[in-house]
Amino acid sequence: MLTSEFDYYLPKELIAQEPSEKRDESRLLILNRQTGEISEAIFHEIINYLSPNDILVLNDTRVIPARIFGTIDTNRRVELLLLREIEPGLWEALSRPARKVKPGVKIRFNKYQVQSKSHCEERSDEAISKPLSGLPRSLRSLAMTSELYAEVIERRESGIRIVKFSPNKVQELLTEYGEIALPPYIRKKCKDINRYQTIYGFKEGAIAAPTAGLHFTEELLKNIRAKGIETVFLTLHSGLGTFRPVKVETVEEHKMYPEEFEISEEITQKINQAKSEKRRVIAIGTTVVRALENQAQLGKNGRNVKPGMGLTDLYIYPPYDFKIVDGLITNFHLPKSTLLMLVCAFANKEQIFRAYDYAIAHQYRFYSFGDAMLII
């Protein structure tokens, strides 16, 4: 299957540069998989499309300030995006400019160094590679003797670096110098970076937000539960596997970067009870879908979920036999992305592209800060 089959044209003005004024007042497009019918609502009206027998599964991950800036021996500024901690102090990371960040290079961090333009300012990639020429010489020297530094140990495929932090002060480093890495298509000033966090996320580890959950408010969740709808939480730390673009010609060639997940025994019992009672399992986001489907198995009472934690590189694209998930709340995804392929597998490609055409024609807002879609 060609990757180009999942391409589509999106006018730039439909790429949401900021969230809706209120989380639950974004627009909602509803796609019925059985009939193909498309309808519209406001997100807080989603409760009208849910049954008291449903169980909603949400991702409680929280985005960490994984984007940090340092200097190498030429006083040149470099950027690291920390992806995943392999062991204490040892991380997988992406770097810019990549050609300068070689094995053996030490990257130093200091509060006096010139920072990049923040995620809450107009974004410019050009600034990443500029030297620290704006600093006084004394401060430039201080920046190179900071006690916080990292050494590049190894370069792996796809530009990933293995970086060792010494001393082991990663949390201090992220707290002092880290910033949340908004997607590159968001160029506008961000008034409140907390809008890139879900209201229920508390397990730190994600690099990118599980954006389907950004639409929920405490009041909406309260109303959902008051209707008798059960809500449960699992964890998948969305990272490179979620946002990495597909650069190969055919869909099957792409390899998913592994991401950490955890599903507890208590949660699996509730989900499995719902499955045995023929109740709908509604996933809030593609990360939840991948975690649930990764842990799917055939049990005595049919298909169910087993508890577990670890890494998943599950790659879902058409055709795929969904074993657990019966409904999906998601945002509108980038062309030729693994996320778009997943939703095309969940409904079918023709239905999804017809829904996307409808959304474009009716001026829906796309991507992370954009509007939402319910597929049932």
pLDDT tens per residue, range 256-294 = 999 999 999 999 999 999 999 999 999 999 999 999 999
**Whose structure tokens read 């005595």?**
300
Residues 57 and 83 in one domain: no
Q: Is residue 182 part of a domain?
A: no
DSSP conformation letters of 203-269: EEEESS--GGGGG--HHHHHHHHHTT-EEEEEEE---HHHH----SSBGGG--PPPEEEEE-HHHHH
Q: Give the orientation angle of helix 349-361 with respect to helix 338-346, to 10 degrees.
A: 110
Would you say how long the chain is, in residues?
Answer: 376
- 202 & 350 share domain: yes
pLDDT tens column, 114-167: 444 444 444 444 333 333 333 333 334 334 444 678 889 988 877 899 999 865
pLDDT recorded at residue 166: 65
269 in a domain, yes or no? yes
Q: Residue 331: what are its φ and ψ, rounded to 5°?
A: -90, -175
| Domain count within the chain | 2
**Does residue 128 share a domain with residue 77?**
yes
Examine the fold and report which residue of 129, 144, 177 is the final residue of a domain before the chain moves on: 177
The CATH number of whichever domain residue 138 belongs to comes to 2.40.10.240
Q: How does residue 300 score in pLDDT terms, banded at 50, 70 and 90?
A: confident
pLDDT in tens, 37-82: 999 999 999 999 999 999 999 999 999 999 999 888 767 888 999 9
Q: Last residue of a domain, which of 151, 177, 203?
A: 177
Q: 196 or 177: which carries more pLDDT confidence?
A: 196
Q: Are residues 59 and 160 in the same domain?
A: no
Same domain? For 77 and 56 the reply is no
The whole-angstrom separation of Cα 187 and Cα 18 is 9
State the residue range of the domain holding 228.
3-63+191-375
Residue 191's pLDDT is: 78
Whether residues 234 and 348 share a domain: the answer is yes
Task: Specify whether 76 is located in the same domain as 55.
Answer: no
Handedness of CA 61, 237, 369, 293 (dihedral sign): negative
End-of-domain residue from the set 148, 177, 206: 177
Question: Token pair of 161, please?
Answer: 């670096």
- Please give the C-alpha separations between residue 155 and each of 104, 247, 260, 273, in angstroms, as whole numbers: 10, 20, 21, 46
